[in-house]
């Protein structure tokens, strides 16, 4: 596990983090009002107390990078540039929403401009998807980093482990934020995972990890920025466990009466926005006048965005049958954006030979053996089989010429294997 190095932010960066956290909370407070007025038709999920994670981690990305948010990552959408009206209209199923009223929750993205992949309800599935996006970007020469989020409960799914293993073996430039908010719906984390730190799960895949206070937005930013820089530099995927608390129930219908009162009181006293306000005030980065200015800015913005959303029409009934399946070029015009010469990755001019090396493979000493590497890719399979020498020493390759080359090579390899086991 690694500890991130602290870094100095500019005054504007400090205030940006504050603004986006406040915007995150104000957007959700507005949606609660809309929900109680029966203007929101789908489910409503709160990130109250977790704003520092979405905002701090997404703020660490470059504009060209890609994200795939989950239900409690509205802050990441706002940092990426999604206007509040789109979030309101999406939950209200309005015609002007990103999905034209076909979805009443947070299932929307923007592949063309903002590089946002839509959420997937099956928890964990975004991990292999974003690993694939990262690998694709690397292939195209884009030098991007991808990021998604998962909860403590979602980290117990099979696809979490499959996806992380895939990302690790491919050294994908990918950062995974594990939001340990202590509850998977009504199941406490101690009842589902026999670990003190969920970041330890990264060890199984040979990748690095960090643990960060998820209620400290500057710490989250610093940690995420370091992880993003390392991933972009070719160090492979990195896992960040952000420790926090889900202060409301799983969704609006859940009163969360299963949460101990003492636990709730402890975490309410550690509100990320309140803590950050104290820090900014102490560092003379925010005063009463500056706070009032931000309050007025948020009020003006949210009033206009809510008004626009409420005045947007509902989709016409006949519109329901369209836009469900992709039908040729009318779906989207997304094409691969090459930022390297295609010849670099196109045989026979490719600068990288279609060969890879497995250190220690075939040494007879297990994964930790010190045998000489074997090259794969441009050699017929029988020719790479070797006779094992005494004590696992490398021997000359078996001869494979002649009519029955394959059969002879297979027989030689089997004999070598029997000798090695004696």
Look up the CATH number of the domain holding residue 234.
3.40.50.970
pLDDT value of position 2: 80
345 in a structural domain: no
From the list 421, 369, 422, the residue with the least C-alpha distance to 394 is: 369
CA pair distance 338, 113, nearest whole angstrom: 16
Calculated CA dihedral for residues 375, 378, 382, 388, nearest 10 degrees? -10
pLDDT in tens, the chain (422 residues): 787 777 789 999 999 999 999 999 999 999 999 999 999 988 889 999 999 999 999 999 999 999 999 999 999 999 999 999 999 999 999 999 999 998 888 899 999 899 999 999 999 999 999 999 999 999 999 999 999 999 999 999 999 999 999 999 999 999 999 999 999 999 999 898 899 999 999 999 999 999 999 999 999 999 999 999 999 999 999 999 999 999 988 888 888 899 999 999 999 999 999 999 999 999 999 999 999 999 999 999 999 999 999 999 999 988 887 777 777 666 667 788 999 988 888 877 776 666 666 666 655 554 444 445 555 554 444 444 443 333 433 434 444 444 455 555 556 555 555 554 45
346 in a structural domain: no
Block residue for tokens 């989020």: 149
175 in a structural domain: yes
2 in a structural domain: no
CA distances from 153 to 36, 164, 184 (A): 28, 15, 5
CA pair distance 264, 255, nearest whole angstrom: 13
pLDDT value of position 370: 47
255 and 377 share one domain? no
From the list 236, 242, 240, the residue with the least C-alpha distance to 134 is: 236
pLDDT value of position 363: 57
**Is 356 strand, coil or helix?**
strand
380 and 301 share one domain? no
pLDDT value of position 373: 54
CA distances from 118 to 94, 358, 396 (A): 18, 36, 53
317 and 181 share one domain? yes
222 in a structural domain: yes
Q: Cite the DSSP H helix spans in 60-196.
A: 74-80, 84-92, 126-139, 158-169
3 in a structural domain: no
CA pair distance 86, 41, nearest whole angstrom: 15
pLDDT value of position 407: 57
300 and 253 share one domain? yes
Residues β-bridged to residue 240: 177, 210
Q: Domain end: 330, 363, 387, which one?
A: 330
In angstroms, how far is CA 312 from the centroid of its own chain? 32
pLDDT value of position 144: 97
272 and 360 share one domain? no
138 and 270 share one domain? yes
pLDDT value of position 269: 96
CA pair distance 175, 263, nearest whole angstrom: 30
pLDDT tens digit sequence for 340-369: 988 888 877 776 666 666 666 655 554 444
310 and 376 share one domain? no
pLDDT value of position 159: 96
Q: Domain end: 330, 361, 386, which one?
A: 330
Q: How many structural domains compose the chain? A: 2
188 in a structural domain: yes
pLDDT value of position 375: 54
237 and 372 share one domain? no
35 in a structural domain: yes
Q: How many Cα atoms sit within 13 Å of 417 on the Cβ side? A: 8
326 and 358 share one domain? no
From the list 199, 221, 231, the residue with the least C-alpha distance to 57 is: 221
pLDDT value of position 288: 96
From the list 109, 99, 104, the residue with the least C-alpha distance to 45 is: 104
Identify the domain containing residue 388 by its residue range: 353-421
306 and 409 share one domain? no
CA distances from 267 to 32, 181, 244, 248, 275 (A): 21, 10, 8, 11, 11
321 and 357 share one domain? no
308 and 394 share one domain? no
CA pair distance 31, 167, nearest whole angstrom: 36
CA pair distance 414, 322, nearest whole angstrom: 60
Q: Domain end: 330, 364, 393, which one?
A: 330
Block residue for tokens 């206009």: 304
Cα diameter, the chain = 88
């Amino acid at each position: 596990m690694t500890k991130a190095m602290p870094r100095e932010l500019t005054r504007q960066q400090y205030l940006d983090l504050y603004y986006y956290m406040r915007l995150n909370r104000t957007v959700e407070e507005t949606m609660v009002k809309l929900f109680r007025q029966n203007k929101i038709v789908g489910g409503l999920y709160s990130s109250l107390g977790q704003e520092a994670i979405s905002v701090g981690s997404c703020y660490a990305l470059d504009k060209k990078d890609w994200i795939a948010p989950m239900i409690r990552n509205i802050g990441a959408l706002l940092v990426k540039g999604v206007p509040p009206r789109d979030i309101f209209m999406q939950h209200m199923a309005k015609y002007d929403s990103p999905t034209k009223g076909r979805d009443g929750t947070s299932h929307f993205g923007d592949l063309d401009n903002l590089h946002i992949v839509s959420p997937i309800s099956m928890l964990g599935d975004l991990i292999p998807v974003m690993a694939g996006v990262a690998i694709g970007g690397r292939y195209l020469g884009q030098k991007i980093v991808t990021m998604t989020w998962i909860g403590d409960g979602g980290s117990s799914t099979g696809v979490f482990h499959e996806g992380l293993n895939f990302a690790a073996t491919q050294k994908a430039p990918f950062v995974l934020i594990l939001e340990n908010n202590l509850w998977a719906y009504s199941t406490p984390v101690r009842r589902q995972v026999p670990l003190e730190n969920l970041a330890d799960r990264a060890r199984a895949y040979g990748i690095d990890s960090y643990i960060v206070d998820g209620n400290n937005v500057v710490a989250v930013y610093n940690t995420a920025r370091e992880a993003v820089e390392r991933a972009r530099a070719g160090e492979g995927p990195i896992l960040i466990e952000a420790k926090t608390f889900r202060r409301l129930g799983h969704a609006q219908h859940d009163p969360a009466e299963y949460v101990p009162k003492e636990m709730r009181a402890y975490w309410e006293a550690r509100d990320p926005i309140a803590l950050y306000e104290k820090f900014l005030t102490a560092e003379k980065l925010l005063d009463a006048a500056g706070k009032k200015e931000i309050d007025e800015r948020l009020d003006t913005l949210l009033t206009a965005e809510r008004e626009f959303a409420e005045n947007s029409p509902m989709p016409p009934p006949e519109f329901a049958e369209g836009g469900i399946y992709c039908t040729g070029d009318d779906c989207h015009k997304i094409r691969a954006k090459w930022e390297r010469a295609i010849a670099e990755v196109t045989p026979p001019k490719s600068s990288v030979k279609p060969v890879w090396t497995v250190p220690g493979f075939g040494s007879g000493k297990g994964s930790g053996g010190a045998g000489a590497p074997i090259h794969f890719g441009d050699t017929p399979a029988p020719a790479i089989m070797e006779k094992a020498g005494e004590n696992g020493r490398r021997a000359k390759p078996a001869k494979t010429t002649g009519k029955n080359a394959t059969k002879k090579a297979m027989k030689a390899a089997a004999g070598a294997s029997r000798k090695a086991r004696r």
